[in-house]
């Protein structure tokens, strides 16, 4: 009889503890996962951004990285949550600069509250492949052919006969020309800044070997060896143009900036 009573008491105690855990979770639920997680590609760096949940008792965010989309995420950093008594929208940033150009990385972010409870991982698929970028000044080929071309793999100014693309001038207009017929080029139109173009298109290329250069326009290039690049005409002078450029070293990868919408 005592044994049976003891068994019943243990069972009741277990139910009480379960009930307490349920009450604790109702009174202090785990935090929500970060929202809007996205990245901006840099040169040897990836810039991560996310929206903090509308909660006041958050302690920090855990940033995780993997070489695979669904598995093997490991913690690489933590970012303190800002005090947010009014539950305002707060956008956080983390810069991952311990990475290599041409390598693809996947990211997730997790919320931790002051009780040490953790959220689920962020739902967005954040994939990024950092790539080199820079600024180059090209002079029209009729004036300085040796300073008119740009070679993306070498990342330097070259003669027009050796370039992936080169600058030409005709009747007070500039043109960005592809040296090889197997190199495609496309005018993507006016962009607010260099990073407005995130991914290179894979169709819509010009039927000609060149496009007119207009200040503020960004141009996509698909090289003959299957690499993607972009150039933005930042400043157009009388005989030269200052371009900002980015080149994806990972063959066949169209990513040139963020993957926020993918």
Q: Tell me, what's the pLDDT at 203?
A: 87
Beta bridge partners of 128: 105
Q: Tell me, what's the pLDDT at 197?
A: 87
- Spell out the CATH class of 35-128: mainly beta
Instruction: Round to whole Å and give the CA distance between 53 and 103.
Output: 30
| pLDDT classification of 17: cutoffs 50, 70, 90 | very low
Residue 179 CA neighbour count, 13 Å, CB half: 20
Contacts of 217 (CB under 8 A, 6+ apart): 187, 188, 189, 190, 191, 232, 233
| pLDDT classification of 24: cutoffs 50, 70, 90 | low
**Mean pLDDT within 14-19:** 44
The model's pLDDT over 169-182, given as tens digits with 9 standing for 90+, comes to 988 899 999 999 99
The model's pLDDT over 77-90, given as tens digits with 9 standing for 90+, comes to 999 999 999 999 99
């Amino acid at each position: 009889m005592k044994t049976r009573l003891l068994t019943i008491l243990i069972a009741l105690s277990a139910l009480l503890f379960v009930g307490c855990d349920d009450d604790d979770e109702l009174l202090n639920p785990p935090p929500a996962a970060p929202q809007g997680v996205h990245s901006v590609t840099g040169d040897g760096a990836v810039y991560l951004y996310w929206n903090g949940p509308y909660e006041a008792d958050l302690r920090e965010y855990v940033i995780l990285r993997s070489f695979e989309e669904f598995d093997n995420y490991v913690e690489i950093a933590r970012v303190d949550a800002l005090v947010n008594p009014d539950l305002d929208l707060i956008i956080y940033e983390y810069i991952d600069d311990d990475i290599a150009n041409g390598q693809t990385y996947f990211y997730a972010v997790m919320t931790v509250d002051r009780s040490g409870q953790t959220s689920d991982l962020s739902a967005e698929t954040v994939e990024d492949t950092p790539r080199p970028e820079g600024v180059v000044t090209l002079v029209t080929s009729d004036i300085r052919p040796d300073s008119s071309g740009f070679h993306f793999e070498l990342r330097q100014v070259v003669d027009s006969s050796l370039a992936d693309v080169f600058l030409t001038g005709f009747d007070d207009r500039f043109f960005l020309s592809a040296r090889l017929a197997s190199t495609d080029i496309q005018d993507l139109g006016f962009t607010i800044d260099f990073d407005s173009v995130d991914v290179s298109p894979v169709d819509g290329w010009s039927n000609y070997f060149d496009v007119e250069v207009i200040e503020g326009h960004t141009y996509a290039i698909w090289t003959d060896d299957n690499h993607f690049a972009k150039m933005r005409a930042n400043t157009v002078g009388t005989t030269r143009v200052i371009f900002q450029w980015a080149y994806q070293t990972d063959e066949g990868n169209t990513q040139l900036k963020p993957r926020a919408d993918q």
